[in-house]
């Protein structure tokens, strides 16, 4: 089919626009990776544009020599796995129960969840509550509270409602109880949604740094994001004492002095974001479907 003139022009403008957007999106990420492989002096001078100049692995060697990074990684993986598991374990039964039409307090429960979506205590009351429950400095404080999002409960509930009731009823006739229905019928049909929200939970837990910052006083509990923050912010400001009040742990001062080179900073940034960048392409095919269920059906 021969395209008309205006269609051709539209196509060309479209393609140019897309190329510009791709470059804008990708270049900062690429630059950080490239700079982490280059000589620090070249990075500072500005010689690095498209390819690493003076290819060196020194930055990464320095980063991996430091035990704090390994401790941070261990903590982050621990929090991510436990947090995601807890998130899904509490989310799915809640949504399943709320999707049943015969549940007596259904409206009340819905409002109960809905109000927490918009109305919360805020930062300080939450902190005081954790203090009263003796959860400060305890790794569980970022896993257990606040891991269920009311919005996710609603999305799952809507999806479960749209699964035909007859499936559950026919399973009951065959002698299944509610747990069997949940695990054998409902969960396999909701794979797209599980994958999407599982990924959200993983990314959320991996990138979570504020909770650890205010609740943990012991630097051995810090996830890798907080360690990144320490290294890039604590030494970046001229007045170290000023920042010392905002959540800095007792840190190894000699390492702080060693890591001024630009390459090492870039290397730490790459090390922090690398695992997530590797995981997310595999979940890509579930996103569109998962989003559609949540947003259009409301």
Partner 1 sequence: MITYAPHFISTVVISSMIILFLNRDHGIINNVIAILGGERIDFMTSPGCFSTIYVWSGVWQGVGWGTIIYLASLASVSPELIEAARIDGASRFQIVCHINFPSILPTVITMLILNTGNVLSVGFEKVFLLQNNLNLSASRVISTYVYEIGIQGGQFSYSSAIGLFNNVINIFFIIIMNQISKKVTQISLW
CA angle 16, 20, 22 (to 5 degrees): 115
246 touching partner 1, by CB under 8 A: yes
Residues 210, 22: Cα–Cα separation, whole Å = 31
- DSSP code per residue over 27-94: HHHHHHHHHHTS-HHHHHHT--SSS-SS---HHHHHHHH-HHHHHHHHHHHHHHHHHHHHHHHHHHHH
Residue closer to partner 1 by CB (options 95, 273) is 273
Residues 164, 21: Cα–Cα separation, whole Å = 43
Number of other residues whose CB lies within 10 A of the CB of residue 194? 18
Kindly report the backbone phi and psi dihedral angles of residue 52, in degrees, each rounded to the nearest multiple of 5, phi listed first: -65, 135
Kindly report the backbone phi and psi dihedral angles of residue 181, in degrees, each rounded to the nearest multiple of 5, phi listed first: -60, -45
Q: How far is the CB of 28 from partner 1 (least distance, A)?
A: 6
107 touching partner 1, by CB under 8 A: no
How many residues of this chain interact with partner 1, rule: CB under 8 A?
64
Residue closer to partner 1 by CB (options 72, 139) is 72
4 touching partner 1, by CB under 8 A: yes
Residues 225, 234: Cα–Cα separation, whole Å = 13
Q: How far is the CB of 216 from partner 1 (least distance, A)?
A: 13
Instruction: Print the binding letters for residues 35-74 with partner 1: x by CB under 8 A, - otherwise.
Output: --------xxxx----------------------------
Which stretch in 21-29, 54-62, 137-145, 155-163 sits in contact with partner 1 by CB under 8 A?
Answer: 21-29
Out of 12, 15, 26, 81, the only residue in the binding site for partner 1 (CB under 8 A) is: 26
Residues 59, 269: Cα–Cα separation, whole Å = 11
Out of 107, 134, 177, 239, the only residue in the binding site for partner 1 (CB under 8 A) is: 239
> Residues interacting with partner 1, by CB under 8 A?
4, 6-7, 10, 21-22, 24-26, 28-29, 31-32, 43-46, 118-125, 127-128, 203, 206-207, 209-210, 214, 225-226, 228-229, 232-233, 236-237, 239, 242, 245-246, 262, 265-266, 269, 272-273, 276-277, 280-281, 284, 287-289, 291-292, 295-296, 298
């Amino acid at each position: 089919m021969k395209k008309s003139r205006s269609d051709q022009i539209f196509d060309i403008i479209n393609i140019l626009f897309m190329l510009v957007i791709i470059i804008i999106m990708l270049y900062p990420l690429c630059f950080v990776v490239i700079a982490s492989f280059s000589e620090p002096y070249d990075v500072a001078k500005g010689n690095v544009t498209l390819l690493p100049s003076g290819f060196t692995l020194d930055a990464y060697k320095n980063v991996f020599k430091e035990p704090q990074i390994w401790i941070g990684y261990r903590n982050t993986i621990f929090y991510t796995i436990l947090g995601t598991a807890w998130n899904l374990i509490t989310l799915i039964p809640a949504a399943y129960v709320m999707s049943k039409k015969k549940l007596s307090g259904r409206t009340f429960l819905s409002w109960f969840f809905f109000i927490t979506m918009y109305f919360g205590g805020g930062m300080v009351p939450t902190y005081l509550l954790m203090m009263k429950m003796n959860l400060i400095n305890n790794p569980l404080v970022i896993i257990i509270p606040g891991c269920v999002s009311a919005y996710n409960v609603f999305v799952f509930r809507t999806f479960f409602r749209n699964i035909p009731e007859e499936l559950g009823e026919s399973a009951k006739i065959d002698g299944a109880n509610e747990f069997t229905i949940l695990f054998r019928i409902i969960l396999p049909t909701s794979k797209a949604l599980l994958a999407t929200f599982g990924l959200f939970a993983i990314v959320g837990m991996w990138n979570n740094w504020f909770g650890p910052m205010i609740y943990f006083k012991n630097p051995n509990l810090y996830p890798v994001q907080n360690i990144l923050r320490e290294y890039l912010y604590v030494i970046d400001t001229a007045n170290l004492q000023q920042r010392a009040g905002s959540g800095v742990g007792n840190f190894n001062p000699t390492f702080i002095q060693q890591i001024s080179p630009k390459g090492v900073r870039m290397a730490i940034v790459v090390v922090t974001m690398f695992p997530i960048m590797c995981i997310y392409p595999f979940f890509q095919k579930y996103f569109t479907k998962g989003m559609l269920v949540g947003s259009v059906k409301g």
